[in-house]
Amino acid sequence: MKAGQEISTIFLLLRRVRGTLIALVLIYALSVLGLTLVPGPPDANGAVTHMSFFHAFYFVSYTATTIGFGEIPNAFSEQQRLWTLVCIYLSVIGWAVFIGKLLQISADANLQRAIRTSRFARAVRKLREPFYIVCGYGETGRLICHALDQLGYRVVVLELNGEHLAELELQNHIADMPALVADAANPTLLKLAGLQHRQCRGIVALTDDDDANRSIALSTRLLAPELPVLARASGRAAAADMASFGTHHVIDPYLKFGHYLGLAMHAPAAYQLLLWLTGLPGTTVERHRSPPHGHWILLGFGSFSQGLAATIASEGMPVTVIDLQPPTASSAQVSWVQGDGTGAEALLKAGVAQAAGIVAATSSDVDNLSATFTARELNPGLFTIVRQNNMGNRPLFERFDADLTMVPSEVIAHECLAILTTPMLAPFLRLAQTADWCESLLQRLTAQLGWEAPEVWSLRISAQQAPALHHRLNLDDGLRLGDLLKDHADRSQALLCEVLQLDRAGQPSRLLPPADLLLRQGDQLLLVGRSRARSRLDLTLNNAHALEYVLTGRESSGSWLWQRLSQDKKTG
């Protein structure tokens, strides 16, 4: 079977057993024919009788499978009983061989693969809700699938490693996730996974192979150019290659974390706001101290450290690298100390006693923890940044409690979720980085909502997403933004949500729009709050009676269901 080609499993099974099946059919045919030809007992007139084809087939059918229920339609002659013995042995042997062949084929890897592929294709075709295709179910894929599932999105998974995909079946997800062990770089498999399905909303390429991610992105751009593509890249060259043919979002976790570190250095409030707004559902964001200015030490000088060195140097701070190999000529802005950094000698030579911070960025979690542990003993006030490569080592990193822990899978997951679920969030965060109100906004929002990651969503004032409000704006163009953000159960209470950005056609984006701003049809709003506030706002936007009460305070009777809902909300 060609990769990704959906073949009928029944056809494949019949093709494998055709020889045995033909032999079984011949046994039945020979047995029936023999019973019709062999003479039976004489009738009342002494004439020889013969069994009809119907009675012969009926007798063979139950004799071959159950070894008989009796002689029909009359008692057999000696010749018929002799032929029946032949039929019994032939049919039992035939069925035994046929069943053995079926058991042998059932363990065949190709047949099992065909069955899984067929089931997967049927499950994808039956999807009636919007879904995303996630290619790669490693640490990052697991985080994204879980988060999308918690947010109410369906997910289709392609993963080359069967052991990784086996973990998917052990997870407690809200909705089933169609999954297949397959190479997502194959365009035919992508089509089988729903690339051209009308409910597909995007593709996320998260494999650990840049070539595979590039192939996925290219296939999507050619076969479904209207779908957004998010692709993971492990270096600048790979990222530039993917961007060259129009990949919508290329995410390099090392480059992204370097950007985060630079943001934390010169705009700590904007960095904390970014972490809080892009937090994974159910997680709590803790506010740590900001990275200090001064001398920094980098342990290891791979692709991750090179980006961090450039970021720190751009802030005007000296950088010392501890590595077994000297930095390249292009890294002239850093000084070098030879060593692996796990011992005190190299750290002291690099000036750890006077350093402001250290970044342990090797590919070994043990080396990273060992080096930062030693550095913290030599300089207790040192700002520590540790790279975590394996999610299984999380308890160690939580116990160590570094100032910042860089987990590549979490960096990618945060970025992907922000882009997929709330496209307006990324532009807002870019604009907010240069704003001077980030600290006051962060304090105000966390005072209301706490430090648990909030729900961030966007909506458009349209007949599809906000039918009641859209219809009301046809009649009244004087509706203010602040009037909308009230509880439909008690309009004197404001909803625990806030509008971060308003986009209007032909106008620049408005950050933190005022409460007295007049709304228009087609406006797009970016909101932050709790899920309860979102559900109540959704009801207001979709129900004319709730909207009437929120805007004017007048309660209309409405339907029986609306009265019950309103009563439950007031008493709840």
Q: What is the pLDDT of residues 154-186, one digit of tens each?
A: 999 999 998 888 888 888 888 999 999 999 999
What stretches in the chain show pLDDT beneath 70? 1-8, 67-69, 329-332, 556-572
Token duo for residue 502: 């308003």
Residue 106: strand, helix, or coil: helix
Q: How far apart are CA 263 and CA 404, in angstroms?
A: 13
Write down the pLDDT at residue 90: 92
Strand ranges (E), 347-475 = 357-360, 383-387, 404-406, 455-460
Cα torsion angle, 401, 406, 408, 409, sign: positive
Homologous superfamily of the 454-571 domain (CATH): Regulator of K+ conductance, C-terminal domain (3.30.70.1450)
d(CA 307, CA 257): 9
Amino acid letter, 416:
C
Query: Torsion over CA of 439, 441, 445 and 451, rounded to 10 degrees?
Result: -30
Report cis status (omega within 30 of 0) of the bond before 228.
Answer: no
For residue 561, the model assigns a pLDDT of 58
Task: For the sheet with 497-503, list strands across it.
Answer: 455-460, 524-529, 497-503, 510-511
Q: Where are the domains of the chain?
A: 9-106, 128-251, 292-402, 454-571
pTM here is 0.78
Amino acid identity, residue 521? Q
pLDDT score at 459? 94
CATH topology agreement for domains 128-251 and 454-571 = no
CATH topology for 128-251? Rossmann fold (3.40.50)
Give domain 292-402's CATH architecture: 3-Layer(aba) Sandwich (3.40)
CATH annotation of 9-106: 1.10.287.70
Q: Six-digit token pair at 228?
A: 């957004």
In this structure, the number of other CB atoms found within 10 A of the CB of residue 494 comes to 14
